[in-house]
Chains A and B, each alone.
Chain A
Amino acid sequence: MINKNIQTPDPISSPEKREQETEIISGSEILIRSLLAEGVDTMFGYPGGAIMPVFDALYDHKQSIKHILVRHEQCAVHAAQGYARVSQKVGVALVTSGPGATNTITGITDAMMDSTPLVVISGQVVSSLLGSDAFQEADVIGVTQPITKWVYQIRRVEDIAWAVSKAFYIASSGRPGPVVLDIAKDAQVNKCAYSYQKTRFLRSYQPVPDVDETQIKMAAELINNAKKPLALVGQGVVLGNAEEELRDFLEKADIPFGSTILGLSAMPTDHPLNFGMLGMHGNVAPNMKTNECDVLIAIGMRFDDRVTGDLKTYAKQAKVIHFDIDPAEFNKNVKTTVKVSGDAKQTLPLVTALLEEKSHEEWKSEFKPYVEKEFDCIIKQELYPENGGEIKMGEVVRKVTEATNNKAICVTDVGQHQMMSTRYFKFSQSRSMVTSGGLGTMGFGLPAGIGAKYGAPDRTVCIFVGDGGLQMTIQEFGTIMEYGVNVKIILLNNDYLGMVRQWQELFFEERYSETHLKNPDFIKIADAYHIKGRKVTKRDELDGAIAEMLAHDGAYLLEVKVETKGMVYPMIPSGGCVTNILLGNGNTL
């Protein structure tokens, strides 16, 4: 029999009882108090007509909520992303309707791809004008629905508190993601009683799937019988705060591993089982071993095409164990033998408990030749160039990370410098890698770095940018100036859109179509914003300049003129087999 008696909670009256209904206040005041109830103390935004009542209410709460006025709405979202990625909190961006909201699209998409918890609040025209092509009206719900975890348009003041509560719950639970709240101006202005209850349950939404004991046992059995296990560590470990659980798991069964770009800081770079980064510009050993291992253990990663290359030739010999919180990731790209659904913090210890203590010395020793080959053919020249010549990106990155005792947060933009940063920056603690992984958003670095500094004010934030990407969001020098944001910006300037130039050299017969940039004097621009800067063109100035940058109390732009035609190697050509690795300079594996 169908049970018709299940009660549907009325969204307006739920959470069920409103006992503390006392004060009648405006929607804007309700919004701010709701944000405070969610523990928000920092947000990034830009005012405009349809969100003015909220900014007005914010004026009374300056002591409790720090609002950072960025210089472009895209950067409000990127800053919120940087903030969320290092702090474990939900990033909040506040923008106006129409162009304010559409400017956030890139950042929201980026956050969706990289599973970053965000709540983006946009103003909207008054509800009576909705759908009439009113001034600064845009169909924000329609536009953002495919690129968010959840969106909601608030048209009535009564809906603000529960919608905010629901938004924070959805953004931060399960696999995190961005949520958009689009608030009509009349809802901001109208008044109603305020009470707030945190959302902890939605019947249509199961953030963490049930753990299947059978799969746990099967996973442990496979690993116990494996001769050549290889683990792939993804951002899910970081998002689930499962770094310790991962370490126990890997060490007990002595499993060598590689990391995705977003999983890089989950384990220390110098951990003996860490063989580096996976994928297109990753390290040779973990990529080669992907197609030699007998059991491949993916933990909180999604087999992005930049990691796998051609799926038809990817790890075909291996049985695949996939740990993930999102059931839609299982079998999406790579066929899985054992699906371990659930939160890694919960599932990893369950499997670890069933593991036998193992030693895989022979298997690990097979990694060594690849490690040595990569060092000889690529790393040595990149980090310790013997014959002088132009400064290499890799050596700058390595000098910076070592000057911070590998304790800094590494924020990057997108392109060659990004790959060099991920390859040569060293990590000693988690949540230290902030980069646009899935979407590859140029212009991400500078604003994300600002956000990261607010998310982790006690840590050194090093932003690596290229000359292309920096100019996409260079106006954020204004934000840095206004708030005195102490970020260290390392501009690796080759006067080219380097990664595109690299592809043109390799795959487009050196036809350098629209990749050379005639660049401004970046130090002068920084100077105009009262940001201290220095340009380095000679190798012997580098150490001194880095020391000066780190010692300086405040933001600093270190521009390094790097090799014009530098190449990022190794490289697995797009769509190629994971073992088809180009080493450059005529070297072959």
Chain B
Amino acid sequence: MDDNKTLYTITIFSENTVGVLNQITTIFTRRQLNIETLSVSPSAIKGIHKFTITTFTDDENVMKKLVSLIDKRVDILKAYYNTDEDLVHQELALYKLSTEKVLAHGSIEYLVRKYNVRILEVSNDCVVFLKAGHYEETQGLFEELAESIGVLQFVRSGRIAITKSKVERLSDMLAKRERENQEK
């Protein structure tokens, strides 16, 4: 992570067709941008997928150009970028720990209270924690667990985010385009 760089979150809505991700990543590659996190899932509208991608850059103009190039692709419905201030965002992290070591450590209550951890699974061999939060929070828990108990497996999801501001909704944009098409 570079101190001079800002983390941008790019939100993309696309048709659910083969190869859209490839189209998007090619544009990142040409602009020498490294993808930090990526999350893709069906959106609220059937047949339309939503991508949430984060990337660092020190120049907002790079983001403007990137987003306009993505938006331009035929299969992309809409693309925009935000910085953290504009967003409510979240990541999920899963931590697998040895049951034996967890029990030996003793203070599960402390961890659960401090980090708001949810316990998803307890077996003879392992315990699985779930933590939702920002990167710093999931990373904080990881570091504490790694030091105190030891982490057998760890995985963190890409960021998901929604904007705080009132932005044009995709469904409105689609309705407008359909309406204009009918008028033609």
Interface residues of A (CB under 8 A from B): 2-4, 6-8, 11, 141-142, 145-146, 149-151, 153, 170, 200-206, 326-328, 330-332
B72 & A6 in contact (Cβ 8 Å cutoff): no
12 new A-B contacts at CB < 8 Å, known A2-B44, A153-B18: A6-B171, A6-B174, A7-B46, A8-B45, A145-B26, A146-B26, A146-B30, A150-B75, A151-B19, A201-B181, A203-B174, A204-B75
Identify which of A6, A7, A203, A328 contacts B65 (C-beta below 8 A).
A328
Q: Report if B68 contacts A (CB, 8 A).
A: yes
B65 & A332 in contact (Cβ 8 Å cutoff): yes
Q: Is the interface of A mostly helix, strand, loop or mixed?
A: loop
For the complex formed, measure the closest distance between the CB of B123 and the CB atoms of chain A, giving whole angstroms: 39
- Using Cβ atoms and an 8 Å threshold, which residues of chain B touch A11? 17
A6 & B15 in contact (Cβ 8 Å cutoff): no
Interface 0/1 of B69-87, CB less than 8 Å to A: 1011011110000000000
19 A-B residue contacts at CB 8 Å?
A2-B45, A2-B169, A3-B175, A6-B175, A8-B45, A8-B46, A8-B48, A141-B19, A145-B22, A145-B23, A145-B26, A146-B26, A201-B184, A203-B177, A204-B15, A204-B75, A206-B177, A330-B68, A332-B65
B19 & A3 in contact (Cβ 8 Å cutoff): no
- Using Cβ atoms and an 8 Å threshold, which residues of chain A touch B174? 6, 203
B74 & A150 in contact (Cβ 8 Å cutoff): yes
- Using Cβ atoms and an 8 Å threshold, which residues of chain A touch B184? 200-201
Number of interface residues of B (CB under 8 A): 33
Closest residue of B by beta carbon distance from A4 = B44
For the complex formed, measure the closest distance between the CB of A159 and the CB atoms of chain B, giving whole angstroms: 12
- Using Cβ atoms and an 8 Å threshold, which residues of chain B touch A205? 74
Identify which of A145, A204, A206 contacts B14 (C-beta below 8 A).
A204
Q: Report if B47 contacts A (CB, 8 A).
A: yes
Best-buried of A8, A149, A151, A331 by chain B (most CB within 10 Å): A8
Interface residues of B (CB under 8 A from A): 14-15, 17-19, 22-23, 26, 30, 44-48, 61, 64-65, 68-69, 71-72, 74-77, 169, 171, 174-175, 177-178, 181, 184
Best-buried of A142, A145, A328 by chain B (most CB within 10 Å): A328
A331 & B64 in contact (Cβ 8 Å cutoff): yes
For the complex formed, measure the closest distance between the CB of B151 and the CB atoms of chain A, giving whole angstroms: 37
User: Roughly how many angstroms separate A109 CA and B17 CA in the complex, as a whole number?
Assistant: 23
A328 & B77 in contact (Cβ 8 Å cutoff): no
Closest residue of A by beta carbon distance from B78 = A204
- Using Cβ atoms and an 8 Å threshold, which residues of chain A touch B69? 328
- Using Cβ atoms and an 8 Å threshold, which residues of chain B touch A150? 74-75
User: Roughly how many angstroms separate A145 CA and B44 CA in the complex, as a whole number?
Assistant: 28
- Using Cβ atoms and an 8 Å threshold, which residues of chain A touch B76? 204
Best-buried of B45, B76, B184 by chain A (most CB within 10 Å): B45
B74 & A202 in contact (Cβ 8 Å cutoff): yes
- Using Cβ atoms and an 8 Å threshold, which residues of chain B touch A7? 46
User: Roughly how many angstroms separate A8 CA and B171 CA in the complex, as a whole number?
Assistant: 12
User: Roughly how many angstroms separate A203 CA and B48 CA in the complex, as a whole number?
Assistant: 11
Identify which of A3, A4, A145, A326 contacts B72 (C-beta below 8 A).
A326
Closest residue of A by beta carbon distance from B69 = A328
A170 & B74 in contact (Cβ 8 Å cutoff): yes
For the complex formed, measure the closest distance between the CB of B173 and the CB atoms of chain A, giving whole angstroms: 9
B72 & A328 in contact (Cβ 8 Å cutoff): yes
User: Roughly how many angstroms separate A471 CA and B43 CA in the complex, as a whole number?
Assistant: 53
For the complex formed, measure the closest distance between the CB of A497 and the CB atoms of chain B, giving whole angstroms: 29
Identify which of B17, B23, B68, B169 contacts A327 (C-beta below 8 A).
B68
- Which 6 A-B pairs have CB atoms at the shortest separation, nearest pair first? A8-B47, A3-B171, A328-B68, A201-B181, A2-B44, A146-B26
